[in-house]
Chains A and B, each alone.
Chain A
Amino acid sequence: QKEVEQNSGPLSVPEGAIASLNCTYSDRGSQSFFWYRQYSGKSPELIMFIYSNGDKEDGRFTAQLNKASQYVSLLIRDSQPSDSATYLCAGGNTGNQFYFGTGTSLTVIP
């Protein structure tokens, strides 16, 4: 069974700190990985995608992928209260099927 697993949290960090969100996946056929942010009552929106081993940086966000360990993470530097949301990890395979984790709730405390 293809699964993506996340720690549901909640994760709380003080404003300005680094928030670290983690995800593991079971399908070695997954080739691309996505991090979505979902505010309460809203639909998920894409933050970043990554498909190569290593780090990918975009502003305050860094996605990390380790295919050998089947591990994906998202780091949020200089966390802001507006980053408080649920973060969903998803894996995609060649068939363009997306498998979502259950999400990690993040609260950034001012």
Chain B
Amino acid sequence: GAGVSQSPSNKVTEKGKDVELRCDPISGHTALYWYRQSLGQGLEFLIYFQGNSAPDKSGLPSDRFSAERTGGSVSTLTIQRTQQEDSAVYLCASSSTQGVTEAFFGQGTRLTVV
């Protein structure tokens, strides 16, 4: 696609429910990143994919968080048993790996856990 697409744009869920957030990167981009941004805060790194593999999962805050990427394209971030502190904007970005590259961001998913 023309840009990084994330869905849903907004998600309100009840505490304890599971949620899935989707990211569709720019076509041909092999690198994909998930970040979390709480209100007024900076970007918190969650996980990085190179193709379908995740060389760096160090940012996942707990075992309730998992992510996968299939076919080297779409990625899903799953949060199990959501807690109120999970409320944030979840941003996905993708980049090429050729030369000096930049990360292009999607518009994010605003997650609210009530």
Contacts and interface: CB of A to CB of B under 8 A. Distances in A.
Interface of A: 8, 32, 34, 42-46, 49, 51, 88, 90, 92, 95-103
A51 B105 contact: no
Complex A-B, nearest 10 residue pairs according to Cβ-Cβ distance, in ascending order = A102-B42, A43-B105, A100-B43, A103-B42, A96-B31, A46-B102, A32-B100, A96-B97, A44-B105, A98-B103
Nearest to B96: A96
B109 to A, nearest CB: 11
Contacts of A92: 100-101
A46 B103 CA distance: 8
A108 B102 CA distance: 27
12 contacts: A32-B100, A43-B105, A43-B106, A46-B104, A88-B42, A88-B43, A92-B100, A95-B50, A96-B50, A96-B95, A100-B43, A100-B45
Contacts, number: 51
B56 A97 contact: yes
A103 B43 CA distance: 8
A34 B105 CA distance: 13
A100 B100 contact: no
Contacts of B103: 34, 46, 90, 98
B48 A49 contact: no
Nearest to B43: A100
B21 interface: no
A102 B93 CA distance: 17
A17 to B, nearest CB: 25
Contact of A51 (B41, B43, B100): B100
Contacts of B101: 32, 92, 96
B71 interface: no
A54 to B, nearest CB: 15
